[in-house]
Amino acid sequence: MNGLTHRTAIPQSDELERLFALSPALLCIASTDAYFRRVNPAFQNKLGYTEAELLSRSFIEFVHPDDRESTLDEVRKLSTGTPAVHFENRYRHANGSYRWLLWNTAPTTKEGLLYAMAIDVTERKQADERYRKLQQESTQKFAETERRLQALANRLVLAEEEERRRIARGLHDDVGQTLLAAKLATEELERDLTADRRLLAGEVRQYLEHAIRSTRSLSFDLVSEALYDVGLGAAMQSLCERAEQQSGIEFQPPKTLPGNPIPEAARVILYRVGRELIQNIVRHSKARTAKLSLTLSHDLVRLTVQDDGCGFDAAKQQQGRDAETGFGLFSIDHQLRPIGGQLEIISAPGCGTQAVVSFPLPTKAATT
């Protein structure tokens, strides 16, 4: 039905006409058959069409193709008497561009008319889109920066570990062998010395034996060759056995993950963190037993270390007031932070302690 004919008579007054003509908002009266009945000058000026052009065609023809279905749905709701509040769609300008319009519409079901007001929100929409793109770019840049930092952290871990291995090899192959040779030479000398000199040589031999044990212990603390020879599970088991011998605490080592899925840098960090947590148990927990578990799920590594010891006030420690346990946990947090890891402590006095270390496995790109 042509919008220029069969119009419903609309009461008018000078005041309403003046308001209708001067309003900067887009004002119109339409019908539920999707035709405009009246449009004000602002409506014409904003879209660049003449009044005759706007009234002679269904207003759906001016709507962006992607918005037509939602606009028709809104018209159907309006025809049942439901007002439209803050409805948005795009209208084609006479120059071919599209303008975003924000509508508030009140229907009169008896006459089948729609009284509508719209404001142009194109600039706001464009600003929102620019903000969204900037936010997306920022998120991508942040993710890229994080990936590079993780890659750098992994390289630093491996470089430090290589230096530790070099020093440990030097202690074992050079210092350790030199001390052993000195000990053997001292034992040889003891046979040809007088009794008083033999006593002195025995003391020297004891000093050398102590130095050899200390060198071996320092070499083990620097790096675990088992981590490279037989894997993370065996290295953690070695840590547990050593801690059990030193403290009498019964340690249950973690089960080895099949297929060795954890990259080298992550294995090194897990080994160091596990060692720190085990040392904390030995030094502070007064526990009888301790258990370690290692899991891998959805590219997230989780190491859990739990003991039945005396526990401590975890909230107090997190606030930095417990110097006795705080430094070891601070050291762990410091190691985990560059790789996006987290340390969660669950503990209370008399209730034992559970430490959960988790961090995402580095991507292939982040390990190079």
Write b or e for each residue in 160-180: b if 16 or more Cβ atoms lie within 10 A of its Cβ, otherwise e.
ebeebbeebeebbeebbeebe
- Degrees to nearest 5, angle at CA 223 with 219 and 228: 130
**Calpha distance 158→17 (Å, rounded):** 80
Chain segment 186-207, per-residue pLDDT in tens: 887 777 777 778 788 888 888 8
**Calpha distance 168→175 (Å, rounded):** 10
Q: Which residues contact 7 (CB under 8 A, 6 or more apart)?
A: 37
Mean pLDDT of 313-338: 67
Residues composing the chain? 368
- pLDDT of the residue at 325: 52
- Given a cut of 90, whether residue 260 has pLDDT beyond it is no
- pLDDT of the residue at 3: 43
- Given a cut of 50, whether residue 6 has pLDDT beyond it is no
Q: Over the chain, what is the mean pLDDT?
A: 84
- pLDDT of the residue at 125: 94
Do 290 and 342 form a contact (C-beta atoms < 8 A)? no
Q: Where residue 2 falls among pLDDT bands split at 50, 70, 90?
A: very low
In this predicted structure, which of 9-18, 62-71, 129-138, 163-172 has the lowest mean pLDDT? Answer: 9-18
- pLDDT of the residue at 5: 43
Tell me the longest C-alpha to C-alpha distance in the chain.
135
**Closest Cα partner for 198 from 209, 187, 207?**
187
DSSP track, 143-188 = HHHHHHHHHHHHHHHHHHHHHHHHHHHHIIIIIIHHHHHHHHHHHH
Chain segment 63-114, per-residue pLDDT in tens: 999 999 999 999 999 999 999 999 999 999 999 999 999 999 999 988 899 9
pTM for this entry: 0.52
In the chain, the N- to C-terminal Cα span, in Å, equals 69
**Calpha distance 309→307 (Å, rounded):** 6
R_g over Cα of the chain: 39
pLDDT exceeding 70 applies to what percent of the chain? 89
- pLDDT of the residue at 135: 93
**Calpha distance 259→364 (Å, rounded):** 17
